[in-house]
Structure 1
């Protein structure tokens, strides 16, 4: 303690000048503190007001969107009740799927994209058809493929084997096999 007392000036005028300067600096620091405090508070008020206006705008947009969606839903309900559902019309929940009997493979779709039939010559068309037939999965390869419905014609199987041989005296060509043969 004796050291701090030794550092104080003994001249009363000097002490008075130091006190005035200390008071002036304290007032200046206090004034700048309160100015900065007010600036920060004003910025926070502006930010809160901006956030509130943004929330109000978003709420208004959501309310308008919900109202519009309800109006469209009501119009759709009225349309369905008066006209019924059109199965041919596109719908977001309906997708057109490939036929289940002969589904296209990725290789087939890629081949048709790579070699369009419209631009190919006759020989190229025949070669493409052969490749497509080779790329098709066989009936034994995939047991999950659904089978074709039975034909409407009744098939009569003769009871004795000799009559069976007589019915097969002429060659049997199906339309499918004839259609697969290349045309010259």
Structure 2
């Protein structure tokens, strides 16, 4: 079996050609990527559900907007917490209840008492469900041109305007991808 180069911590940005409505203009943060498959969360799908409605203790720590995000089409009845720890990229000792994914970005143990992490958290997002791919499935989608792979920035996790994230991530690229940010929502209207 060929070795898979890990894309953990990178962003998958849906190309305009991606036909799956679950991922239309989606920006996915890959939390895990190896030969066994891939797992990520969609960063730009806020729901109308307040964090306090499902995880009361975590509501005060959630960034704006303080709603649950739909992390993807898999396991919508489960929750994942993704948080940025300021200085967490410097190899500092990770606080209890937080596991580094990439740089300052990590997963929060939502079973832990929120007070345990309150002082360390820079921002927190709660996701219902996740995006998952079996072995080789994501690689096939990349070959088919369904996704752009770009570097993530800690601010992507807690963007205060998630509805603009797809365009903002593309716009900051230093190549032809910056032009894709101007792609119309409905090209048939052009």
More strand by share: 2
TM over 0.5: no
Choose 1 or 2 for highest CA Rg.
1
Q: Output the TM-score relative to the length of structure 1.
A: 0.17
Which is bigger in relative contact order (C-alpha 8 A, separation at least 6)?
2
TM-score under structure 2 normalisation?
0.17
Greater share of helix: 1
